[in-house]
Homo-oligomer: A and B are copies of this chain.
Amino acid sequence: MLYLPIIVSIFSLVFAYFLIGEVKKAPSGSGKQIEISLAIREGAIAFLKREYKTVAIFAILLFFILWLVLGLKTALGFLVGAFFSALAGFIGMMVSTQANLKVAEAAKSGLKEALDLAFKGGSVTGFLVVGLSLLSVSAFYLLTKDFEALIGLCFGASLIAIFARLGGGIYTKGADMGADLVGKIEKGIPEDDPRNPAVIADQVGDNVGDCAGMAGDMFQTYVVSLAAAMLLGKLLFPNLPQAIFLPLILSSIAILASIISTFFVRLPKNQSLIFALSKGLIIAGILSAIGFFPIIFRLAPILKFSPISLYLPVLIGLLISFFIFLITYFFTSKRYSPVKSIALAAQTGHASNIIAGLAIGMKSTLLPVILISIGILISFALSGMYGLAIAVVSMLSLTGLIIALDSYGPITDNASGISEMAGLPEEVRKNTEALDAVGNTAKATTKGYAIASAGLAALVLFSAYTQELLDLGKKVQFVLEDPRVLVGLFFGGIIAYYFASLAISAVGRTASKVVEEVRRQFREIPGLMEGKTRPEYSKCVDIVTKAALKEMVLPALLPVIFPILIGFILGPEALGGLLIGSIIVGIFIAISMTSGGAAWDNAKKWIEEGNLGGKGSFAHQAAVTGDTVGDAEKDCAGPAINPMIKVLNIIALLIVSFLV
C-alpha cells in the first residue's frame, strides 16, 4: 500500500509522456503559422530561463541558510521541491507552445479535432504537476521520514510558485495591457493584429502566466496540502502511521480517477464545449468519491473515527469544489445577470463600467466564503481538524483536470492568435475563437477553485503550526482579546493588501513601458500601420521580460521576510494572528479580483457579440477599459495571493521551533 502513491505518480508521468507524443504527432501546418509559433516559443523559453535564473540566486542563498539553520535534509527538501515545481512548469510550457499551432492546424479539420488536441496539450501540464508533486512528497517522505525536511520541500515549491505567479502574471498582463492600450484603444486595430509590435509578447505572456504560473501555484497547493495533512496526522495520531499515509493514498486514487475521466472529454452533439470540459470534472469527482469509499471505511476505525464521519468530509471537499465551480461560472459567464449588469453599465461610460465590475467582484465573494465556512464547520464537527485536512486533500482530486483546463486556455488563446496573424480562413478562425472563448470561462472558474483550495490548505497549515507549538511543549493560546493576536490579524491584512498593491502596480508600470515602445514603433517605423513593414516584436518581448523580472522580486520576498520579523519581534501569538489575518483578507481580495476581472472580460465579449451596439460602440470602449483593469486583477494580483498565503504559513512552520 505504501508504494501505491509512487506507482500512481509514475503512471501519471507516463500518461503525460504519452500525451506529449500525441501532441507531437499532430500536423503543424505551413510556413507562416510555424514562424509565429516559433517566435512565441522562443520568447516563452527565454523568459522562463531568465526567470529561473533569477529565482536560482535566491534558491541557492536560501539553500545555504536552511542548511545552516535547519540542517542539510531540510535544505535538500527545499531543492527537491523547487526543482520539481520548476520542471513541471517548464515541460508543460514547452508542450503548450508546441500545441498552439497544431491546434490552429487541427481547427482546419473541425472543432472536435481542435478541442481534442487542445485538451491533450493542457492535460500534459495537469498530469505532470500532480504526478511530480505526489512523487516528490511520497518518495521524499519514504526516504527521509522527516517532517521538517518535508516542510522544506513545501518551501521550495512555494518559492517557485510565488515567483512563477508574479513573474508570469506581471509579464502576461503587462504585455496584454500594453498591446491593448495602444492597439485597440489608440489605433483601433483588432486584438492579435500582426501590426501590433506587442502582439508576440502578449502571446508569450499567456503561456508564462496561465500555464507556467498556474502550474507552479497548483504544484504548491498540492504538495502543501498533502504535507500539512500528513503532518497533522502525525501530530494528532502519534502512533498511527495510517493517519500519515491516508492523504497519499487518497491522492493516488484521485489521480487514477482523473486519468480515466480525460477520456470522457469529447465534443457532444450540441457542440457545447463547456459541457465537454465540465463532464470531465464531474466524472473525475464521482470516480474519486467511489474510489475513496473502501479506503476510508477500512482506515477510519483504526483512527477511531466512524467511517461516515471521515467519509463525509471527503464528499464535502468534492462538493465545495463543484459548487465553487458553479458559482464562479454564474458570476463570470456571459449568460447570467452579473456579467450583463457590467455590460449595461458600460452604456453610461468607463466609470460606470468600472464601478459595476468592482461591485460584482466584491459581491462574488459571498457564496464561496459561505460555502467554505459551512465546509469548515461540518468537517470539524465530524472529525476535527484532521477531517478538514482530509476534505482539503479530497478537493485536490480535481487538480489534474483543473490545470488541464487552465493550460487549455493559453493553447487556444495562442491558436486563435496564430490563426489571426497567419491570416487563416474565416472558418478556421471561427473554430479557434470558439475554443478561446471557452478557455476564458474555464480559466476563470479554475481560479475560484485554486483560491478556495489554497485558503483551506493554508488553514490546515495554520493548524499544523498550532499543533507544532503544542508539540514543542509551548502552550500558546490564540485568543482574540490578546492584543498580539489582534495586531497579528491586522498585519495579516496589511501584507495581503500591500502585496496586491505591489502586484497590480507592477502590471501598470510594465504596461506603461510597453505602451511607450509600441507608440514609438508606430511613430518611427514607416509603413507599419499600413501593414507594409513588420514591427520589432523582439524589442517588446525584451522590455516585458526585463520589467517582469525586476518587478517580481519585492512582492515575492515580502511573505518570506515579513512573518519572520513579526514572529521574532512580537512572538508566536502575533504570528498566528498574521497567518489567519492573511487568509481571511487574502481570500476576499483574491476572489473579488479574479471573479470581477473575468466578469469584466466577458462583459466586453458579450458586447462584442453585437449587443448594446457591438464593437466600436461607446459601450464597447468603456467595456475595454473594464477588461483591461480586470486583466491586471484576475491574472496577476488576484491569483498571486494564493501562493502568498501559503508561503506565509510555510515560513511559520519552518521557524516555529525557534519561537518557543
Question: How many angstroms from the CA of A576 to the CA of B592 in the assembled complex?
Answer: 25
A350 at the interface (CB under 8 A from B): yes
A320 at the interface (CB under 8 A from B): no
Find out whether the CB atom of A493 lies under 8 angstroms from the CB atom of B351: no
Pick the 7 closest A-B CB pairs, nearest first: A351-B628, A359-B505, A362-B501, A478-B480, A380-B483, A363-B501, A373-B487
Interface of A is mostly: helix
A340 at the interface (CB under 8 A from B): no
B-contacting 9-mer, from A89-97, A209-217, A234-242, A507-515: A507-515
Q: Of B355, B356, B585, which is within 8 A of A493 by CB?
A: B585
A86 at the interface (CB under 8 A from B): no
Most chain B beta carbons < 10 A, residue from A350, A388, A463? A350
Find out whether the CB atom of B486 lies under 8 angstroms from the CB atom of A459: yes
Find out whether the CB atom of A489 lies under 8 angstroms from the CB atom of B355: no
Find out whether the CB atom of B585 lies under 8 angstroms from the CB atom of A355: no
Find out whether the CB atom of A490 lies under 8 angstroms from the CB atom of B584: yes
A337 at the interface (CB under 8 A from B): no
The residues in A between 144 and 196 inclusive whose CB is less than 8 angstroms from any CB of B are: 177, 181, 185-186
Question: How many angstroms from the CA of A490 to the CA of B459 in the assembled complex?
Answer: 12
A207 at the interface (CB under 8 A from B): no
Find out whether the CB atom of A487 lies under 8 angstroms from the CB atom of B362: no
Question: How many angstroms from the CA of A155 to the CA of B361 in the assembled complex?
Answer: 31
Question: How many angstroms from the CA of A374 to the CA of B466 in the assembled complex?
Answer: 25
Distance from A649 Cβ to chain B, minimum over Cβ atoms (Å):
13
A349 at the interface (CB under 8 A from B): yes
Contact (A351, B478) CB under 8 Å given A373-B487, A505-B359 = no
A119 at the interface (CB under 8 A from B): no
Question: How many angstroms from the CA of A547 to the CA of B162 in the assembled complex?
Answer: 45
Find out whether the CB atom of B359 lies under 8 angstroms from the CB atom of A508: yes
Distance from A601 Cβ to chain B, minimum over Cβ atoms (Å):
12
Q: Of B500, B504, B577, which is within 8 A of A480 by CB?
A: B577
Most chain B beta carbons < 10 A, residue from A381, A385, A577, A625? A625
B-contacting 9-mer, from A6-14, A109-117, A309-317, A364-372: A364-372
Closest to A632 in B: B355
Closest to A570 in B: B377
A278 at the interface (CB under 8 A from B): no
Find out whether the CB atom of B584 lies under 8 angstroms from the CB atom of A377: no
Distance from A352 Cβ to chain B, minimum over Cβ atoms (Å):
6
Q: Of B351, B369, B477, B501, which is within 8 A of A359 by CB?
A: B501
Find out whether the CB atom of A494 lies under 8 angstroms from the CB atom of B369: yes
Residues of B within 8 A of A76 (CB): none
Closest to A354 in B: B629
Closest to A361 in B: B501
Residues of B within 8 A of A486 (CB): 376, 459, 580
Question: How many angstroms from the CA of A515 to the CA of B351 in the assembled complex?
Answer: 12
Residues of B within 8 A of A459 (CB): 486
Residues of B within 8 A of A177 (CB): 351-352
**A contacts, CB < 8 Å to B:** 177, 181, 185-186, 345, 348-352, 354-356, 358-363, 365-366, 369-370, 372-373, 376-377, 380-381, 385, 388, 459, 462-463, 466, 477-481, 483-487, 489-494, 497-498, 500-502, 504-505, 507-508, 511-512, 515, 570, 576-577, 580-581, 584-585, 587-588, 592, 624-626, 628-629, 632
Distance from A186 Cβ to chain B, minimum over Cβ atoms (Å):
8
Residues of B within 8 A of A502 (CB): 359, 363
Question: How many angstroms from the CA of A376 to the CA of B570 in the assembled complex?
Answer: 13
Q: A354-B625, A363-B505, A493-B588 are in contact. List 7 more A-B contacts (CB 8 A).
A: A181-B352, A356-B505, A358-B504, A366-B494, A466-B480, A477-B477, A480-B580
Contact (A515, B348) CB under 8 Å given A355-B505, A498-B363, A584-B493 = yes
Most chain B beta carbons < 10 A, residue from A366, A477, A489? A489
Residues of B within 8 A of A628 (CB): 349, 351, 355
Closest to A627 in B: B351
Find out whether the CB atom of B348 lies under 8 angstroms from the CB atom of A181: yes
Distance from A620 Cβ to chain B, minimum over Cβ atoms (Å):
13
Residues of B within 8 A of A462 (CB): 480
Residues of B within 8 A of A629 (CB): 351, 354-355, 358
Residues of B within 8 A of A584 (CB): 489-490, 492-493, 581, 584-585
Contact (A350, B580) CB under 8 Å given A358-B504, A380-B483, A480-B478 = no
Question: How many angstroms from the CA of A354 to the CA of B628 in the assembled complex?
Answer: 10
Distance from A626 Cβ to chain B, minimum over Cβ atoms (Å):
8
Distance from A547 Cβ to chain B, minimum over Cβ atoms (Å):
14
Residues of B within 8 A of A369 (CB): 490-491, 493-494
Residues of B within 8 A of A185 (CB): 349
Q: Can you list 30 A-B pairs with a CB-CB distance of less than 8 A?
A: A181-B349, A181-B352, A345-B512, A349-B628, A351-B624, A351-B626, A352-B512, A352-B515, A354-B629, A355-B504, A355-B629, A356-B505, A358-B504, A358-B629, A359-B508, A360-B501, A361-B501, A362-B501, A363-B497, A363-B501, A363-B502, A366-B494, A373-B487, A377-B570, A466-B481, A480-B480, A480-B485, A490-B587, A492-B584, A584-B584
